[in-house]
Structure 1
Amino acid sequence: MPSDLAKKKAAKKKEAAKARQRPRKGHEENGDVVTEPQVAEKNEANGRETTEVDLLTKELEDFEMKKAAARAVTGVLASHPNSTDVHIINLSLTFHGQELLSDTKLELNSGRRYGLIGLNGIGKSMLLSAIGKREVPIPEHIDIYHLTREMPPSDKTPLHCVMEVDTERAMLEKEAERLAHEDAECEKLMELYERLEELDADKAEMRASRILHGLGFTPAMQRKKLKDFSGGWRMRVALA
């Protein structure tokens, strides 16, 4: 059962949730009054945009899977299995039977940064994809994250995108808002508030802001829309 302190905190949170859910004839946005029909129309447009982005993302993922099926990689790990350095010999890479790399050597030393330079179509992205999918013999204790594209342009802010990554917190907050609207005295709602408190949900925005600051985003930039950023900055959001 929730403690008295938790109940008091839950009551405060419920009041805040109710305040957010009170119907309003309109609200101000940049000094102008925006009516509910305008808000609904804007939300509908954002929904269409999100659906189109999701479909495009699915197509790109399917395309990547087809490319992986047509790719063949061989190589031998020459470094110690427990080392943080990676040395691979006899590395070969083919795509649809076309040889991109043949019996070459790959060295990645811990603490260094590397860049791939070459003509378009020479196989740079193909090599990175092979490494990202561990088709190259890299020890399991070495973490790999292959970022293939930037965040798509949308009305979301960088801060919102980073906070969305915390799926459990987002799911609990959404469920808590639903229950607060239906039954403010529900015991399940109090349990959700307790779980959110355990997750430090009230500090999620601060944590996200700190991550973005480390990637060069000023407080003002963190609240700009993604569609107003260049591809390079949206890539940083994806990294966050």
Structure 2
Amino acid sequence: MPSDLAKKKAAKKKEAAKARQRPKKGHEENGDAVTEPQVTEEKNEEANGREATEVGLLTKELEDFEMKKAAARAVTGVLASHPNSTDVHIINLSLTFHGQELLSDTKLELNLGRHYGLIGLNGIGKFMLLSAIGKREVLIPEHIDIYHLTREMPPSEKTPLQCVMEVDTELAMLEREAERLAHEDAECEKLMELYERLEELDADKAEMRASRILHGLGFTPAMQSKKLKDFSGGW
């Protein structure tokens, strides 16, 4: 069966052919075609741009704050596990922040396939340890991947599936542009180019790829379609 993308592309080709046989939309004034202003789209684009700018500034502030904290942090330790092992054993681990001792000559073990949680009072150094691990200040072999999530997704109407798909910025941008041009006959050729690029990016399988990632993180199909604002803080 043809994909949704292929169906859209075929439909747009038909519309493009019809568009060449009929006069352009709008009315002529002084020899120039006047079309209806897209007020709603412009407002939406302005709002989205303002929101993106605010998020960008906040992200920059958080990154600067993390850099300052990292500069005031000191970590020492010895890798006791084999350098090629998938398990990580650190001995003699010590962690200080602004000269204050948070961990002293302790042991850290991270074994493949296990899930770990840190329990302790506020200010005891839980986040500081995770940050040190995330920045590889703790001696962790390079073949082990690390991703440290430093901030949560804000509560919103979006689903986890939508958030993961939006990480692919090029794909998201092309889909938004294709959606905008889908209502304009004058730019059908450009729309065809966008559909071709989306096919190259395998856009029809983007949702499946995102779902597979979330499944690996423990998200059930029902949770993947649940709104972010409805999740508990633990997620």
Q: Do both proteins adopt the same fold according to a TM-score greater than 0.5, normalized to the shorter chain?
A: yes
Report the Cα distance in structure 1 between the residues aligned to 2:124 and 2:2, rounded to whole angstroms. 61
Alignment partner of 1:129 out of 124, 128, 131 = 131
Q: 1:165 Cα deviation (Å)?
A: 1.1
Change (3 A) 1:20 1:224: farther
CA contact (8 A) 2:75 2:96 kept: yes
Q: Which runs of 5+ in 2 are unaligned?
A: none
Q: Deviations over 1:65-97 (max 9, x none)?
A: 211111011112121111111111221111001
CA contact (8 A) 1:159 1:209 kept: yes
Q: Deviations over 1:12-44 (max 9, x none)?
A: 479599999999999999999999999959957
Q: Which moved more, 1:48-57 or 1:28-37?
A: 28-37
Report the Cα distance in structure 2 between the residues aligned to 1:55 and 1:148, rounded to whole angstroms. 16
Q: Which moved more, 1:208-217 or 1:169-178?
A: 208-217
Q: 1:2 Cα deviation (Å)?
A: 18
CA contact (8 A) 1:150 1:232 kept: no
Change (3 A) 1:200 1:141: same
Larger Rg: 2
Q: 1:117 Cα deviation (Å)?
A: 2.0
Report the Cα distance in structure 2 between the residues aligned to 1:135 and 1:197, rounded to whole angstroms. 42
> Normalising to structure 1: TM-score of the pair?
0.68
Q: CA RMSD in A?
A: 8.2
Change (3 A) 1:33 1:50: farther
Q: Which moved more, 1:153-162 or 1:62-71?
A: 153-162
Q: Which moved more, 1:95-104 or 1:200-209?
A: 200-209
Percent identity of the aligned residues? Answer: 94
Q: Which runs of 5+ in 1 are unaligned?
A: 234-240
Q: Which moved more, 1:38-47 or 1:143-152?
A: 38-47
Q: Deviations over 1:121-150 (max 9, x none)?
A: 111111111001100110000011112232
Classify the secondary structure of the residue corresponding to 2:137.
Answer: coil
CA contact (8 A) 2:5 2:204 kept: no
Q: Which moved more, 1:179-188 or 1:190-199?
A: 179-188
> Normalising to structure 2: TM-score of the pair?
0.70
CA contact (8 A) 1:116 1:124 kept: yes
Change (3 A) 1:232 1:95: same
CA contact (8 A) 1:157 1:226 kept: yes
CA contact (8 A) 2:12 2:188 kept: no
